[in-house]
C-alpha cells in the first residue's frame, strides 16, 4: 500500500519548493490524509508565502495540474539566455496577445515565462506601457524572479537584478539610431562594453 502512495507523490517531499502553474512557487508544508465520502484522500498542503495562500491538492492530481519541481539550474540559465534575445511581438490585436501571454505565464514553464518578460520589457528610452501590458509584465517578472530566487537561494530582489541585467544585454528596442538601421547594427554595443 505504501508504494502506491509514494508513486502518487511523484517524489515530492514535505518542505520542498515546487512550481504550481496557476500560482508560481510554493512550498509543501505537509502531506495530509482526509476522509471524503468514505474514501481516504492524500493531499499536499502547499503554501504560497507571497500570496498568503494555502492550497490542498490531492496527490493523485498533481500530474494533471502540472505541478513540477523547481527548474534545474541549466533550465534557469536557458530562461536567462531567452531574456537576452530579440523581442518577438506579433502584429495581432492586443487582446489576443494578452491571452497568449497569460497562457504562457500560467503554463508554469519558466522559459515561456521568460519569453513574456522579454517581449513586454520596456527600457527607459521606450514608450510607456499600457496598464494591461504593465500588469502582465509584472506578473511574469514576479513568477520568474520567485523561481530563480528559490533555485539559486538568493533573495527575490537579487533575482530581479539578475533578470534586469540579462534584459539589458538584449538588443536595444525602440527607436534605433539612424546609422544602426542595418540588421547587423548590434555589434557596436558589444565592442563598447569590451573597451
- The residue whose grid cell reads 505565464 is 105
Mean pLDDT of 90-111: 94
pLDDT reported for residue 37: 87
Between the alpha carbon of residue 98 and those of residues 46, 85, 101, 188, the distances in Å are: 28, 20, 5, 34
Whole-number pLDDT of residue 126: 81
The reported pLDDT for the residue numbered 105 is 96
Name the pLDDT band for 51 (thresholds 50, 70, 90).
confident
Q: Are 108 and 19 in contact (CB under 8 A)?
A: yes
To the nearest whole percent, how much of the chain has pLDDT over 70? 84
43: which 3 cell numbers?
493531499
- Would the pLDDT of 194 be above 60? no
What integer best gives the mean pLDDT of the chain? 85
Positions of E strands within the chain: 17-20, 24-36, 39-48, 53-58, 68-69
Structure-model confidence comparison of residues 9 and 41, the more confident one? 41
> Mind listing the pLDDT tens digit for each residue in 129-149?
899 999 999 999 999 999 999
- Measure the CA–CA gap between 118 and 143, rounded to whole angstroms: 13
> In order of start, what are the domains of the chain with their CATH numbers?
9-69 (2.40.10.170), 73-172 (1.20.58.1290)
What stretches of 66-138 adopt beta strand conformation (E)?
A: 68-69
142 neighbors 120 (Cβ within 8 angstroms): no
More reliable by pLDDT, 102 or 125:
102
User: Which pLDDT belongs to residue 154?
Assistant: 96
Residue 150: CB atoms within 10 A of its CB come to 21
Report, as an integer, the average pLDDT of 165-172: 89
Amino acid at each position: 500500500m505504501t508504494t502506491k502512495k509514494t508513486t502518487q507523490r511523484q517524489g515530492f517531499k514535505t518542505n520542498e519548493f515546487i512550481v504550481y502553474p496557476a500560482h508560481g512557487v510554493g512550498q509543501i508544508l505537509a502531506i495530509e490524509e482526509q476522509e471524503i465520502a468514505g474514501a481516504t484522500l492524500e493531499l499536499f498542503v502547499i503554501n504560497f508565502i507571497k500570496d498568503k495562500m494555502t492550497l490542498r491538492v490531492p496527490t493523485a492530481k498533481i500530474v494533471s495540474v502540472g505541478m513540477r519541481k523547481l527548474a534545474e539550474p541549466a533550465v534557469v540559465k536557458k530562461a536567462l539566455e531567452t531574456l537576452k534575445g530579440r523581442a518577438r511581438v506579433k502584429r495581432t490585436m492586443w487582446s489576443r496577445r494578452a491571452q497568449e501571454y497569460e497562457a504562457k505565464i500560467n503554463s508554469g514553464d519558466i522559459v515561456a515565462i521568460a519569453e513574456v518578460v522579454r517581449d513586454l520589457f520596456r527600457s527607459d528610452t521606450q514608450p510607456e506601457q499600457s496598464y494591461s501590458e504593465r500588469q502582465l509584465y509584472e506578473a511574469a517578472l514576479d513568477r520568474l524572479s520567485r523561481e530563480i530566487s528559490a533555485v539559486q537561494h538568493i533573495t527575490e530582489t537579487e533575482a530581479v537584478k539578475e533578470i534586469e541585467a540579462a534584459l539589458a544585454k538584449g538588443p536595444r528596442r525602440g527607436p534605433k539610431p539612424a546609422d544602426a538601421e542595418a540588421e547587423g547594427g548590434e555589434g557596436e554595443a558589444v565592442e563598447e562594453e569590451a573597451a
